[in-house]
Amino acid sequence: VLNSRLSRLIWPLLTLAGIGLLWLILTNADTSTVRIIPTPGEVWAALLRNSQTLWTLHIPATLIETLIGLALALLLGIGLALLLDWSTIARQALYPILVISQTIPIIALAPVLILIFGFGIEPKVTVVVLFCVFPITVNTLDGLTATAPDAGLLLQSMGASRWQIWRKARLPSALPGLFSGLRIATTYSVTGAIFGEYVSSNAGIGQYMRIAYASAHVDQAFVAIAITALLSIGLVGVVAGIERLVIPWHYAHLRTARWDQSAPELD
């Protein structure tokens, strides 16, 4: 057990160290006067230099857009999955549109979003929702349809109503799918908000990044990338934590499987 914990710590650290090494090599290879790859030290300095606006202005703005967008996407995603699961007609009518929604370039959408919503938080939240609804809907729908048919038949034979079957069998079996969809959506959500800020914005990581590129401050651009990554990892961590609380049986199942696998070795 100790061994496996150690390896779970060591491998990510080694990967990070490898990426860091690659970064240093690239930094050294970039001999131009106007650099396109900053050194880790320059990025750190830029982070300190801009920490005031980052903490008070940009990170809160992006985080709020992300969280509102993600919450709406969760509601909408579950709602859509239920609708598509319930009605074959709805599935035939809406599923293609759901796929198409993933192919629209934000550049084409930007002016439309401003014309509909103006300059507030709404266009950014809309982009987050567009990014996040699809994985939630598709994974939840997969979970719903993957319910063991026998479970439904058994409950039916015991005189359960459609609603009872749904609540006792389909919903629990859909939850792991819902959560894996939510985890994927959360990974995209911060990037979605930043894309949204590229439509038009006066604050946020995306706006900070645009200013960085407009004055060729690659160090600041890398700060924005690092913050985006950290925010995404943090949010995914929170979702994974909630997942463990809500569907512990799913994890108990996984743990048992793992234990079963390693059991022979313990002998």
Partner 1 sequence: MNHNFKRVALVALTMTAALLITAGQSTANAQTAAPTAAPTNATSADPLGGATKFAVADKSTDLNLMLDYTPNTNHLGIYAAAALGYYTDAKLNVTIQQPGDVAVEQIVGTGKAEFGVSYQDQATFALQSGQPIVSLAAIVQHDTSAFATLHDKHPVKIPADLAGLRYGSFGSPIEKPTLDLLTQCPAVGAAANAAPIQYIDVGSAEPFPLMEKDRIDVTWLFYAWDGIRAKQQGLKIDFVFLKDYQQCVPDYYTPLLITNADMIKNHPDVVRAFTQATARGYTYAIQHPDEAAALLLKAVPDLDAALVKESSQWLAAQFQADAPRWGEQKASVWQGYADWLFKHGALDHALDTSSVFSNAFLPGTGAK
Between 179 and 198, CB nearer to partner 1: 198
- Residue 73: name the closest of 16, 165, 138, 161 by CA: 138
CB 177 within 8 Å of CB 246: no
CB of 51 to partner 1, least distance (A): 11
Out of 180, 189, 191, 207, the only residue in the binding site for partner 1 (CB under 8 A) is: 207
* Residues between 48 and 67 that touch partner 1 (CB under 8 A): 50, 52-53
Q: What angle do CA 60, 62, 63 make, to 5 degrees?
A: 60
SS3 122: helix
Between 165 and 199, CB nearer to partner 1: 199
Q: How far is CA 5 from the centre of its chain?
A: 26
Number of residues near partner 1 (by CB under 8 A): 36
Residue 137 interacts with partner 1 (CB under 8 A): yes or no: no
Residues 6+ apart with CB under 8 A from 26: 37
* 72/53 Cα distance (integer angstroms): 28
State whether the Cα torsion 182-186-188-194 is positive or negative. positive
CB 192 within 8 Å of CB 131: yes
Q: Given the rule CB under 8 A, which of 73-81, 95-103, 151-159, 200-208 is the region that contacts partner 1? A: 200-208
Between 56 and 256, CB nearer to partner 1: 56
Residue 145 interacts with partner 1 (CB under 8 A): yes or no: no
Question: x/- binding map, residues 27-46, to partner 1, per CB under 8 A?
Answer: ---x-xxxxx----------
* 228/253 Cα distance (integer angstroms): 33
Between 30 and 142, CB nearer to partner 1: 30
* 112/150 Cα distance (integer angstroms): 48
Residue 214 interacts with partner 1 (CB under 8 A): yes or no: yes
SS3 61: helix
CB of 38 to partner 1, least distance (A): 12
Between 32 and 103, CB nearer to partner 1: 32
Question: x/- binding map, residues 94-113, to partner 1, per CB under 8 A?
Answer: ------------xx--xx--
Residue 132 interacts with partner 1 (CB under 8 A): yes or no: no
Q: Given the rule CB under 8 A, which of 74-82, 85-93, 115-123, 175-183 is the region that contacts partner 1? A: 115-123
Between 56 and 87, CB nearer to partner 1: 56
Q: Which amino acid is at 144?
A: L
Buried b (16+ CB within 10 A) or exposed e, 39-54: beebbeebbeebeeeb
CB of 83 to partner 1, least distance (A): 32
Buried b (16+ CB within 10 A) or exposed e, 161-180: eeeebbeebbeebbbbbbbb
Residue 2 interacts with partner 1 (CB under 8 A): yes or no: no
Q: Which residues bind partner 1 (CB under 8 A)?
A: 30, 32-36, 50, 52-53, 106-107, 110-111, 114-115, 118-119, 197-202, 206-208, 210-218, 220
